[in-house]
Amino acid sequence: MRGRRWRVVVLVLAAVYFLVPLLSAAEFSLRTPGGGYGVGNYLAIVTDEVLFTSLLTSLQIAVFTAVLVLVLVVPTAVWVRLRFPSVAGLLESATILPIVVPPVVMAAGIAFVQANLGGPVFRALFASSATALTPFYVVLALPFAYRAVDNGLAAIPLRTLVEAARNLGSSLASALLRVVLPAIRSAVLGAAFLTLALVLGEIVIARILLYTDTFPIAVVEVGRSAAGVSVALSLASLVFTWVLLLLVSFAGGRRSRKASS
């Protein structure tokens, strides 16, 4: 087949460009002070109490964020596909917004509120890193969550499923929860894991608002004294999320193939 050669060139270039930094980071993270190799840097996550606590904080934020994101995105995406297809394009454009709105600008606006507005609502909002960061991480997570869920919905006979459930007497809410949600579970899981990735990587808003007890901030901080630990833990969180997504992708694919054969 003609035109194969450019494909090989592109794939090899991509492999070199994308793998070399990751492999370098892996090699660096495995170095030990003595000059050999070992997994000491990775063990810091359990031996260093600050890092461990920060991981728990960030996981908590990730769970809150993922749940809020899904509660906002799944019903909206279903609604748009069933009842309001004319705004699909508009909504897709709106989900581009959080990609391009600078987190630093968002942080600047939030910091202004934090510094200048009082009252019980704001005091409750800014009480801890979980309450203060979660609402804004939801905004950052919306674009890809919407995209992932909408792709999932495109792949199932949504209208037929909802009609069938409705004809059998289910309410719209339970049709959504018990029919649609299981049908798009791999898309939902994908969205949730990308949200986890986001929370494990966000440092700009947390830093400017001075919530320094989150995992990514702790990882950067520890780098000042132990670069190897920083590299090890950031690499581990990247690879961990990627493996989760890959598992979801393969599990989802296998199931759908079985169903269709």
Of the ranges 26-34, 37-45, 51-59, 181-189, which one interacts with another protein (CB under 8 A)?
Answer: 26-34
Shortest reach from residue 53's CB to another protein, in Å: 18
- DSSP of 58-94: HHHHHHHHHHHHHHHHHHHHHHHHHH-GGGHHHHHHH
Footprint on residues 30-59 left by another protein (CB under 8 A): none
**Cα–Cα distance, 73 to 67 (Å, whole number):** 10
Shortest reach from residue 198's CB to another protein, in Å: 6
Angle at 260 between CA 256 and CA 261, to 5 degrees: 120
Number of residues that bind another protein (CB under 8 A): 99
Angle separating helix axes 215-222 and 49-83, nearest 10 degrees: 140
Of the ranges 19-27, 39-47, 58-66, 181-189, which one interacts with another protein (CB under 8 A)?
Answer: 19-27
CA distances from 105 to 57, 98, 197, 211, 213 (A): 24, 11, 21, 17, 21
Among 64, 129, 152, 216, binds another protein (CB under 8 A): 216
Footprint on residues 186-205 left by another protein (CB under 8 A): 190, 194, 197-198, 200-204
Give the three-class secondary structure for 37.
Answer: strand
**Cα–Cα distance, 235 to 240 (Å, whole number):** 8
Footprint on residues 58-77 left by another protein (CB under 8 A): 71-73, 75-76
Instruction: Give the bridge partners for 37, in sequence order.
Output: 31
Footprint on residues 134-163 left by another protein (CB under 8 A): 135-136, 138-139, 142, 144, 147-148, 159, 162-163
Shortest reach from residue 240's CB to another protein, in Å: 10
| 127 is an interface residue for another protein by CB under 8 A | no
3-class DSSP string for 21-34: HHHHHHHHHHECCC
Of the ranges 34-42, 50-58, 81-89, 178-186, which one interacts with another protein (CB under 8 A)?
Answer: 81-89
